[in-house]
Structure 1
């Protein structure tokens, strides 16, 4: 994978507009390099990144290869990489990701979940480097400092790539986008099969108490609620209600299921920049209309 750096790179604290308009994962990446104590070197690196001195950046597997034109005749060769997670670490991460459908949905939409580190915590590892020293780097320039201005220039431009595709961070940790999504699909398939097997096991449990396993106190076990075996009973309530105790009111203004769900991980469509907002507005109007119909139906039933 090769990208051509533009002269209008990402905003950093050294830029004019700061970090406010960047995705949070880009901000976190930038915080590391901006913590570097040699500010003059960073200013020089930002100039290199902004003025096109980084002539190429290639993301090859788990490493980033770049060429940066310095004061010499030939560009310097730069390498950056992160420590990768082994298969056992990734197993813990994938199991954690599988447990929350929201994480998978956001990643599929190109959004980095704000609490993604919770999934990595299961393996005792991190997705983002905790400190700048965890970003491994090499440069062919004679400067003994690390990171030098050439490495730092590449570091700045890597944030631009992360903004476009957060999966690059996973790639640097040892899982490409394709591999990660394939593994997620496989883990989710296995999880669904396990749930189905458990449901079938409960369905096959004999209803005769004499055939059931008794507890250690020789007491018959409490039978499960019928809704456990028949999900269609979840939304039924057959007991009678005292009409004086039932109060039917409309929802508070602006309080809809869509509002309660929070921001939905919808992908953006560049060809139709307003499509996402139009879709959300349509959902909101639908929710309000259906809520009004439900209120009318409830009031009518109550009156009868």
Structure 2
């Protein structure tokens, strides 16, 4: 038996064995070990260790157990958690779908260490936060809850969780088969939606290229609009300066892809010089017109 004894109780189980327990089992055991009646926990631990729990079975979200006490017939014990609503599970499944690691770990029978982040999307928890959140009943005459019979079942449930972490999901309303089935369906839906979005993006790009949904700027069709500005300008904010000597924009444009003419090697440099001369002349004319308009 590898269940964790109550705090302060001596046991033959080695510390190494206890440290190897899965973290979700330790978290469950912290609930029962937080119980303030330590003497009752000691008796419950003895019941669990000595075989007084004669049977434990999981039926849906409820745990049914028989614990042999002082009476001739075993006491009947029931434990259960509040189940999550379908709407809550929808949020959980959507969150689980967002991380492939969570799905892979669950399929491998490992409880993700940050699994509560998936449940946080629904505002609920997988693990009970306090002992009172675990509902329980016992047919014994003890009015305290949990009694030693219920507590003994707590300890053995930790052993069951170690073997199958999906029991925790079952107590919240989803069996292993149902959870994995729903998770697979949500992942397929997410893949399909991602593919549709990619297809829609490609379709929009094609439509945009045909200029039906996203027509080009008028200046693309009419080069005369390239340097045109129709809006009014505040004269105090406009400063007109001549271009630097020899600056016509040709140098910034880089090497022009002009064809070479072997029979007339002077053609290319003459053409470029003509462009520079024209640029300077146009710049001077623009400067004169701007100054005249400013006055």
Aligned equivalents of 1:218, 1:169: Cα separation in 2? 64
Q: Hey, what does 2:66 align to over in structure 1?
A: 67
Note closer, same or farther for the CA distance 1:219–1:155 as it changes in structure 2 (3 Å cut): farther
Deviation at 1:37, TM superposition (A): 0.2
Deviation at 1:218, TM superposition (A): 11
Contact 1:9 1:50 in 2 (8 A): no
Q: Hey, what does 1:11 align to over in structure 2?
A: 4
Aligned equivalents of 1:47, 1:218: Cα separation in 2? 87
Q: Tell me how large the CA RMSD over aligned residues is.
A: 2.1
Q: Hey, what does 1:91 align to over in structure 2?
A: 90
Q: Hey, what does 2:282 align to over in structure 1?
A: none
Where does structure 2 lack aligned partners over 5 or more consecutive residues? 221-295
Q: Hey, what does 1:293 align to over in structure 2?
A: none
Contact 2:4 2:29 in 1 (8 A): no
Contact 2:53 2:152 in 1 (8 A): yes
Find out whether 1:173 has 2:166 as its counterpart: no
Q: Hey, what does 2:78 align to over in structure 1?
A: 79
Aligned equivalents of 1:130, 1:219: Cα separation in 2? 65
Aligned equivalents of 1:219, 1:52: Cα separation in 2? 88
Note closer, same or farther for the CA distance 1:49–1:9 as it changes in structure 2 (3 Å cut): farther
Find out whether 1:117 has 2:116 as its counterpart: yes
Q: Deviations over 1:67-123 (max 9, x none)?
A: 000111111000000000010000000000000000000000000000000000000
Q: What is the aligned length?
A: 212
SS of residue paired to 2:29 = helix
Where does structure 1 lack aligned partners over 5 or more consecutive residues? 1-7, 221-304
Contact 1:76 1:141 in 2 (8 A): yes
Which of 1 and 2 has greater Rg? Answer: 2
Give the alignment's TM-score, normalised by structure 2.
0.68
Q: Deviations over 1:253-293 (max 9, x none)?
A: xxxxxxxxxxxxxxxxxxxxxxxxxxxxxxxxxxxxxxxxx
